[in-house]
Amino acid sequence: MAPVSKILSRAADQLRSSNTTILLLAAPSLQGALAIAPLEAALVDAGLPYRRRFRLEAPAEGSWVHILGPADESGPRLSSSPLQLSLAGTVVDGLTGHQGDSRKGPLTAVAQAHALAQAICPEGARIRRLRPWVISGNWLHSALDTTYDPVFTALRDALVKDGSIKVVPLPEVPEPNISASTWIDPAALDAVTSRWPSLDMEGRARSLSHLMRPALSRSTPSTARLEEIGWHCVLGPGWSTDLAGQIASAAGLWKENPAAVAASRVADSLLRRGVIPRL
């Protein structure tokens, strides 16, 4: 991860000292919106001029930060005079196993955008508010559909440690959005939630396992993702809906709006409120 950190640190230095308007460019996708939002927040907090564009075309001349799609795993690339930075996912060491073996996973463009934003304006209030979304790129990544993602786990644990998020089981989410989890019976979830405070640990484990059991006969979600949906729901400060539920709401915008409009609505909501409201 050290080479990525060095590139992002150099890019942050150049962005802070730039005397030109920076173009932020991303595809009009959910990943693009989730990656561009923290960069906008950092530039606003730092008082630096920028323009945002959601489009598929490559950037033109001038200074820009270009967020590449999830299919590109070439890592970040930086050139100077003018400043031109491409953010792309890459595979890095996530955690170390019990036998000292390295476990690799994706460091997404979204996570890199958050790291860059933090380097640009470390004390920015907007950046702090958006910190729970660092792991959103890994939530969208296919790694959670095929195997355990050690980078997702490492980032999630770091966010818990610094107080940016808390991790709770689904019945403790104030306003869960299970629209993407069609195997969960809403009435059954309501029943479990109403009994939850009176249940002991064994009762809670049994009730939650029963609630999630219908997913076991399906090809999706994977076991790793199922555990996150049922047992490890991510809540930021003041959130009523967990990360997965907000992402499900955001994805619905692309069904009802042109892609650029949907991406702009997600980025604007994150920038202004730090959350994505339920549709």
pLDDT at position 97 is: 53
96 pLDDT higher than 60: no
Task: State the pLDDT confidence band at 2, using cuts at 50, 70 and 90.
Answer: low
Q: What percent of the chain has pLDDT over 70?
A: 96
pLDDT at position 58 is: 79
pLDDT at position 103 is: 77
Indicate the pTM of the whole model: 0.93
pLDDT at position 81 is: 85
Kindly state the tokens that stand for 194. 């109403």
Coil/strand/helix, residue 25: strand
Task: State the pLDDT confidence band at 57, using cuts at 50, 70 and 90.
Answer: confident
What is the spatial distance between Cα 96 and Cα 93, in angstroms, rounded to a whole number?
A: 8
35 pLDDT higher than 60: yes
Over range 182-203, report the average pLDDT.
96
pLDDT at position 33 is: 98
Q: At what angle do helices 109-120 and 2-16 cross, to 10 degrees?
A: 50
Look-up of token digits 């609630």: 211
> How many Cα atoms sit within 13 Å of 155 on the Cβ side?
26
Coil/strand/helix, residue 149: coil
84 pLDDT higher than 70: yes
Mean pLDDT of the chain: 93
Query: Tens digits of per-residue pLDDT, 103-155?
Result: 788 999 999 999 999 999 999 999 999 999 999 999 999 888 877 789 999 99
Decide if domain 2-181+221-273 falls under CATH 1.10.287. no
Over range 259-274, report the average pLDDT.
96
Which CA distances in Å does 272 have to 23, 106, 126, 258, 260? 20, 28, 8, 21, 18
Q: Are 132 and 164 in contact (CB under 8 A)?
A: yes
Phi, psi (deg, nearest 5) at residue 69: -75, 165
| Structural domain boundaries in the chain | 2-181+221-273
Look-up of token digits 């003018």: 82
Q: What percent of the chain has pLDDT over 90?
A: 80
The secondary structure of 40-88 as a DSSP string is HHHHHHHT--EEEEE-SSPP-SSSEEEE--TT--S--EEETTTTEEEE-
Query: Tens digits of per-residue pLDDT, 206-265?
Result: 999 999 999 988 888 999 999 999 999 999 999 999 999 999 999 999 999 999 999 999
